[in-house]
Structure 1
Amino acid sequence: MKGLSFAGGERVTDLVTGPTSQAETTDAVPSAGSGDDETTTYAWAPEEPAPKKRRLGLWIGIPSAAVAIAAVAASLILIAPGTAVAGVPVGGLTVGGAADALQSRLASTTIEVETPAGTAQITGADLGASVDARALAESAFAAHPMWNITQWNSAPMEAEITVDPALTEQALRDAAGSAYSAPVDASVAFDAASASYTTTPAIEGQGLDPATVTSALEDAFTSGTGRTTIDGTFVPIEAALTTAEADAAVGQLNGMLDTVGFYVGEERTVPIDRAVAASWLTVTDVDGSIALSADAAAIQPSVDALPGLVDRAPVNATVVTDTAGNVLQELTPGVAGRAVGDTSGVADAFAAQLATGNAAYQVPVTETAFETTTLARNIDVNLSSQRATLYENGQVVYSWAISSGLSGTPTPTGNFTVFAHVRMQNMGCGPTSSYCTEDVPWVTYFAPDIAFHGAYWHNNFGSPMSHGCVNMRISEAKFVFDWAPNGTPVSVHY
């Protein structure tokens, strides 16, 4: 190889030995500005770059880490493998997925019921069966999360199944076919002839036993088989409203008719006819229970009549007292006056009260107090004048001639009080008595063995005639008997 020259004109001797390659000849480029044919300048080709290091491990590692992260994340939301709820595998599912699986399996669980009419199939969906699937799934995840490997393949969890009564009744009725007979509820109605409520007894029906079918559904579901066969035995079906329940309602209703009315305190001031009260009431069978309601419009006419039946003026009292003011007898009881108050809401209020079973309505009234007249009574017996004088409030009511005791059997003197009344009796007539007077009338005792009484055997009043008692004409003795109650003061003196 010839030497190379640089711009300075100096020669460069052979730097590389060996034959010149085709590439070197091809790459030779004339030097600019040189006229020397022998001298040629070459541009060295750049050195081939060294091969880059391969990083396959990085690209392989990134997908593996992502999978690991995803697995960890999944373990935080999934239920542990091998977990089952009521025979339904829920391992590897989310809470929502487990809930759907539970309800779906329950809906498809099938009971084959062998009946005289043939074999009928009833599903959980037909019975309106349900579980609290969400709560069960949440409990399964809480107890057996996938991340906790100690909870893998755990024992099955139990589930409580409920069915819809109406759907169950219809499904069993359809399965029983013509062998089914519906029960008839007892009924309650008012009987005009007896003016009382009476009961029409319930009639028992016949059909498949709901308890047997629902129990079979639960067994098939919880065992995980999803299907079972049972013998469709027919059982009596009790009416929703039984005879006993209707009888109890009748007892309450008739009790209401016994007491229905408008009251002032404890007094039933305005009784209501039983048939009228029954016309106010409506008795309804609501899902096997007696419901009672009342019509306020029907009650309103009775409310409108209240003032004429309740309002009254006060009645003043009259009492007999002794001279010290102690009440001895009530001649006329005092009665407060009253007037019905505002009745604008009474009909509605009574209707609402009747619906609760209470038939005694308290009428709003305003009362007026009564006054009391006091009659202070006492009797004066003057042995000197042989007269008895009756006083009331210090005024003479009557004064009569009497016959007191003879000198051998004198009438005792002093202050006494009346203590007994005997309409008629025999006096004397004892084995040691010196006299016997039978059928002595209107005897009013005021001292031991001494009384005012009628004397039919003489007419010598104004003179002593007795064995110690105070004799009076029969009419006068009766007046004292009625006029002087026990406790009336009696003064006997000369």
Structure 2
Amino acid sequence: MTDLATKPNADEAPSGVPSDAPTTPIQSGGDGAAFGYEWAPAEPAPKKRHLGLWIGIPAAAAVVGLVAASLVLIAPGSAIAGVPVGGMTPGSAAEAVQNRLAETTVVLTGAGGDVAVSGADLGATVDAQALADAAFAQNPMWNPTAWFAAPIDAPVTVDPATATEALREAVPGLYSEPVGAQVAFDANTASFAVTAAQSGEGVDVAAVQGALQDAFESGATSIDLAPALVPIDSSTTTELAQATADKLNGVLDTVGFYIGDERTVPVDRAVAASWLTVTPAENGDFTVTADAAAIQPTVDGLAAAVNRDVVNATVITDSSGNALSDLTAGVVGRALDSTDGVAGAFATQLADGNGVYPLAVSEVPFTTTTLARRIEVDLSAQRTYLFENNAVVQSWAVSSGLTPNDTPTGDFRMQAHVRIQGMGNRDLTKEPHYYTPDVPYVSYFNGDIAFHGTYWHNNFGNPMSHGCINMTIDAAQYVYDWAPLGTEVSVYY
């Protein structure tokens, strides 16, 4: 019999078997042995599953990615004008904005049918990169409060020249060409005159730009526009033409070859104008050119017009050397220097608006001879003497005043010359009770006392006059011509 003390307790698991292990009842055998339990082999413990860890890693990576993206992307719902840019980088947004503008079309409607021109055709631009940078700065994705903000304004500009060319090609029937102002020489006035510019007509570029702006802001890809027409001014304006004509007329006013301040060889206005060609320039102004070959014949004739011999001066003075008049004006002699290159240089000057060409000459100064002249009247000898440098050059018998009308003595100066006049009083009942008409070559030196010609007597050498110095007509003419105003006259006995 089995010692119960040594048998395991039926409620107790065998050693090495966990107390919570399941048991299976069994019989000991067919001999009717006592009923007992036999322990079944233990099930292997299940392995732990870390599903949360494997799920969490991708999620965390996604969160990190979203955070990183929010730092470089524009917030959802953002727009630049009518272009959605939410979720884009500033670079992609800038490209999208510019592409949308380039593709937006303005459809010109009218009787001739609809014609579309795109933003690209019109040379339309926006500052796309600056706008995209502003959109990101104002509405970054990381800031939820900036999501779905109002669109950012995007001013559109078009290049006027590009737009005009595109519109002219699209609707040529709406264009008439302006006529530029012209400048030409008018022979009747001997001046350059202006033909005014005439305006043309064409599509209003500003209206097209406005329509493109409206479509771009609204997000539309196309917009209809009935084109308005506006005047088109020529770049060659009337004002520019007048300024050119004024400049050229200033040239004609002064044109010539100068020695110092003297216009020694003037050039006829029509001749000078024939040397000039005036053509409109691309910038709307005018280009002036001068033909050196046309100028050359005038240059070839300069020597004959410029060269001259020296002429020495002769000056009449009083006895103190004070000049009374020029008997012969002095003239400086001169000879023209080389004229090589003058025509080309003058052509350049004329084209620049300068008609004054200075000539280089060699000069020969003149000398001056002085003639000190004076007159003496010797009443005792009834004779007049003409002195030049203290030498008598002429002498005549004269008739001075007859008593009681004696010629006054003293030192005087020539005061006036009268070619012919009546002397005395036509009313013979009044002083001096005589009248002599048509007295020739009168030279006054003392009030109404004068040298003069005499045709009513030939008694020279004896007093005969009312105080004047009677002379033959030839002698009186000689004094008249020989003695300038200021000539000294001495009358004595």
CA-CA distance at 1:318 after TM superposition: 2.7
Alpha carbons of 1:308 and 1:183: their partners in 2 closer, same or farther (altered >3 Å)?
Answer: same
Alpha carbons of 1:244 and 1:156: their partners in 2 closer, same or farther (altered >3 Å)?
Answer: same
Q: Tell whether the 8 Å contact from 1:83 to 1:144 is kept in structure 2 after alignment.
A: no
- The corresponding residue for 1:445 is 444
Code of the residue aligned with 1:377 in structure 2: it is R
Rounded to whole Å, the distance in 1 between the matches of 2:397 and 2:76 is 124
Q: Secondary structure at the match of 2:436?
A: strand
Q: Secondary structure at the match of 1:467?
A: coil
Code of the residue aligned with 1:316 in structure 2: it is N
The answer to whether 1:346 aligns with 2:342 is yes
- The corresponding residue for 1:209 is 204
Q: Secondary structure at the match of 1:118?
A: coil
* More off after superposition, 79-88 vs 116-125: 79-88
Q: Secondary structure at the match of 2:467?
A: coil
Alpha carbons of 1:129 and 1:316: their partners in 2 closer, same or farther (altered >3 Å)?
Answer: farther
Rounded to whole Å, the distance in 2 between the matches of 1:365 and 1:115 is 74
- The corresponding residue for 2:381 is 385
CA-CA distance at 1:65 after TM superposition: 9.8
Percentage of identical aligned residues: 53
Superposition TM-score, scaled by structure 2 size: 0.75
- The corresponding residue for 1:310 is 306
Rounded to whole Å, the distance in 2 between the matches of 1:376 and 1:137 is 101
Deviations 1:154-197 (A, max 9, x none): 773564624142x3332222333434332333444456788665
Code of the residue aligned with 1:440 in structure 2: it is V
- The corresponding residue for 2:457 is 458
- The corresponding residue for 2:331 is 335
Q: Tell whether the 8 Å contact from 1:84 to 1:157 is kept in structure 2 after alignment.
A: no
The answer to whether 1:234 aligns with 2:226 is no
Q: Secondary structure at the match of 2:440?
A: strand
Q: Tell whether the 8 Å contact from 1:380 to 1:388 is kept in structure 2 after alignment.
A: yes
CA-CA distance at 1:90 after TM superposition: 6.1
Alpha carbons of 1:294 and 1:89: their partners in 2 closer, same or farther (altered >3 Å)?
Answer: farther
Superposition TM-score, scaled by structure 1 size: 0.74
Aligned pairs (5 A) from 1:137-286: 140=134, 144=138, 146=140, 153=149, 156-157=152-153, 159=155, 161-165=157-161, 167-190=162-185, 197=192, 202-221=197-216, 225=220, 227-242=222-237, 245-246=240-241, 249-250=244-245, 252-286=247-281
Q: Secondary structure at the match of 1:421?
A: strand
Rounded to whole Å, the distance in 2 between the matches of 1:332 and 1:148 is 106
CA-CA distance at 1:414 after TM superposition: 1.5
Deviations 1:92-149 (A, max 9, x none): 76665555445434433322222231222222222223455566667x3897485996
Alpha carbons of 1:213 and 1:278: their partners in 2 closer, same or farther (altered >3 Å)?
Answer: same
Rounded to whole Å, the distance in 2 between the matches of 1:111 and 1:427 is 103
Rounded to whole Å, the distance in 2 between the matches of 1:291 and 1:118 is 43
Deviations 1:275-329 (A, max 9, x none): 5434432221223332212233443443344333323333333322222222222
Q: Secondary structure at the match of 2:348?
A: helix
Q: Secondary structure at the match of 1:384?
A: coil
- The corresponding residue for 1:467 is 466
> 111, 115, 127: which is aligned to 1:116?
111
The answer to whether 1:395 aligns with 2:391 is yes
Rounded to whole Å, the distance in 1 between the matches of 2:115 and 2:379 is 115
Q: Secondary structure at the match of 1:228?
A: strand
CA RMSD of aligned residues (A): 4.0
- The corresponding residue for 1:359 is 355
- The corresponding residue for 1:477 is 476
Deviations 1:74-105 (A, max 9, x none): 4xxx7787776666566776665555445434
Alpha carbons of 1:189 and 1:457: their partners in 2 closer, same or farther (altered >3 Å)?
Answer: same
Q: Secondary structure at the match of 2:452?
A: strand
* More off after superposition, 151-160 vs 448-457: 151-160
